[in-house]
Amino acid sequence: MPRDRYPCVMKVVPPLFLLGAIVLGGSLTWNRLIDHLIFHPTPGTHFLPEQGGLQGENVFLQAEDGVRIHGFWLSSQGSTRALLFLHGNAGNASHRLPNASELVALKTNVLLLDYRGYGLSEGTPSEAGVYLDAQAGLAHLTNERGFVPKRIFVFGRSLGGAVAVDLAHGRELAGLILESTFTSAAEMATSILPFTTPLVGGRFDSIRKISQIRTPLLVFHGDRDQIVPYRLGKKLFHAAREPKAFEKIAGAGHNDTTQVGGRPYFERIRQFLDRWAPT
């Protein structure tokens, strides 16, 4: 399997930089400062679908607050199910196209979304904003592409896992796939620098939401993840309802799950897709 040329990184701010940003951040509102520490968007596109042999098209959606959002629609001929892919906190959607191509090969249509401020999307990222962006992606699949919710999967990686949990909360979807994600921003802050925990408040509180989700769940996490601790992935999984499954990727860190997991990783995803929404 080819290596992902653009790994789905999650950037973590070094403690000294974080401290300096807090001290020097008087010119920004508190919420804006925290957003700058969480989100690391890259504008533009660095990879095109056709470069990976994909049948893809650019789509532009409008979030509920009017922000124009970009995504790649990647079709799988004859497939009657779809997957909304929500990426991590750095880079942009084009960096995830090699990964998405493997998902398309599983006979699944994929909508690869860029949050506001990322890639070709307008706006500035925030927690509330990326939730609206994910909702716009789901609405595109139902209203424009004609998929019913029970034929739609949501895949959230790293920070995108928290966005996916919020989207699945209160909705009945075909399935939810989480990878290398965490319980809450507060617990992530604790793992990086304990005194910052109160600063992030209740942001990205997946641990509270996931216990109310009834959608089938599949969780992946590398046991050598040094960015999002493995224990947080397990804790989030234990808080979820059945039906659910957890897959440890032995030897994987945060950014090499697909490479270390190899074909068995994608075969496990195929099994999950086929069980809950056969194509």
The answer to whether 158 is a known catalytic residue is yes
Q: Is 225 a catalytic residue?
A: yes
86 DSSP β-pair partners = 113, 156
115 secondary structure, DSSP code: P
Active site annotation includes 256? no
What is the number of residues in the chain?
279
Q: What is the DSSP string of 181-219?
A: --S-HHHHHHHH-GGGHHHHTTTT-HHHHHTT--S-EEE
In contact, 109 and 74? CB cutoff 8 Å: yes
Give CA–CA dist 146/30, Å, rounded. 41
User: Which entry of 4, 35, 205, 225 is annotated as an active-site residue?
Assistant: 225
* Cβ contact 152:2 at 8 Å: no
- Catalytic residue, chosen from 126, 158, 180, 184, is 158
How many separate helices (H) and strands (E) can be counted in the chain? Answer: 10, 10
Contact 10, 227 (CB under 8 A): yes
Catalytic-labelled residue, pool 87, 140, 221, 254:
254
Determine the distance from the C-alpha atom of residue 257 to the mean position of all C-alpha atoms in its chain, rounded to a whole number: 14
- Tokens encoding 160: 């995108």
| Identity at 130, one-letter amino acid code | V
Q: Where are the alpha helices (DSSP H) in 25-115?
A: 30-38, 97-104
Question: Residue 196 corresponds to which tokens in the numbers above?
Answer: 């910052």
Residue 192, SS3 per DSSP: helix
Provide the 10 A C-beta neighbour count for residue 64: 11
Note the maximum CA span of the chain: 55
What residues form DSSP beta bridges with 176? 154, 217
Catalytic residues: 158, 225, 254
